[in-house]
Amino acid sequence: MPASLRLAVVQVTRSRPEAAAYNTLVQGLNARVAEVADEAGWLVENIAAEDEGVEALLARTREADAVVIMGGEDVAPRFYGGPAEYEGRSTHREVADAGQIALVRRAVAEGTPLLGICRGAQIVNVALGGTLQQHIEGVGEHRNDATEITAVMRDHDVRVAAGSRLARVLGSTEVVVRSAHHQAVDRPGTGLRVVAVAPDGVPEAVEHESAPVIGVQWHP
């Protein structure tokens, strides 16, 4: 890979004083993605969307050859027309939501490769007009709520659609993934299709029909 290829890894925020243990978990996931990308030869820039605002985030990522949108808090319901109150509601960070939504829309318009991970997959869907399941039934199949936050991840099977871009990337239509989510895609956004599901039928990945944009609910 040419050393000049630039990857923007865009997280929600760097600091969560009110949720230190959760922030440690999230920062570890962010760091791991950056580490793997660096080892593969990418020039990685870590960016916190909440620190930037929409215009500054778009400007800062203007020269990126690819973008990864990381996980974090629930997307604010106003961005997809959902009820403001719902089971399992987390903190909302609307500045980050707006910036990441704008990134997805630009990626689709310009054909920039973009991967959304966990919340990032939900951002992909919402950015393109889709809606979310605000608290999935059988949430215990998708995250471990009975333990400390450091052990919240749960392994489970996922079936990937044959012929999808995601199946070609993974080299398989059946994979075991590690996830920790209580929300998921409901109605897919414009140009998106669900390309992976869990055994309980919950959507686990979406991809765009023409742009190189994929969202996965699990943490690679």
3-state secondary structure of 21: helix
Q: What is the pLDDT of residue 143?
A: 67
Q: Which two tokens stand for residue 91?
A: 């903190």
Q: Are 74 and 120 in contact (CB under 8 A)?
A: no
Q: Are 84 and 24 in contact (CB under 8 A)?
A: no
154 located within any domain: no
CA distance 141 to 7: 32
Q: What is the pLDDT along the chain (220 residues), one digit of tens a residue?
A: 555 799 999 999 999 999 899 899 899 999 999 999 999 999 999 999 999 999 999 999 999 999 999 999 999 999 999 999 999 898 999 999 999 999 999 999 999 999 999 999 999 999 999 999 999 886 666 666 766 666 778 889 999 999 999 999 999 999 999 898 899 999 999 999 999 999 999 999 999 999 999 999 999 8
**34: nearest Cα among 72, 60, 8:** 8
176 located within any domain: no
Q: Are 160 and 195 in contact (CB under 8 A)?
A: yes
Q: Which two tokens stand for residue 173?
A: 């239509």
113 located within any domain: yes
168 located within any domain: no
Over residues 137-164, the pLDDT tens digits come to: 866 666 667 666 667 788 899 999 999 9
140 located within any domain: no
What is the spatial order of strands in the sheet that 6-11 belongs to? 43-48, 6-11, 66-69, 114-117, 213-216, 203-208, 192-197, 154-160, 174-179
Name the residue range of residue 47's domain. Answer: 6-135+182-216
CATH number for the domain spanning 210: value is 3.40.50.880
User: What is the tally of structural domains in the chain?
Assistant: 1
**How open is the CA angle 180-185-187, to the nearest 5 degrees?**
170
Over residues 17-47, the pLDDT tens digits come to: 998 998 998 999 999 999 999 999 999 999 9
143 located within any domain: no
198 located within any domain: yes
Q: Please state whether beta strands 192-197 and 174-179 pair in parallel, antiparallel, or not at all (unpaired).
A: unpaired
CA distance 213 to 68: 10
92 located within any domain: yes
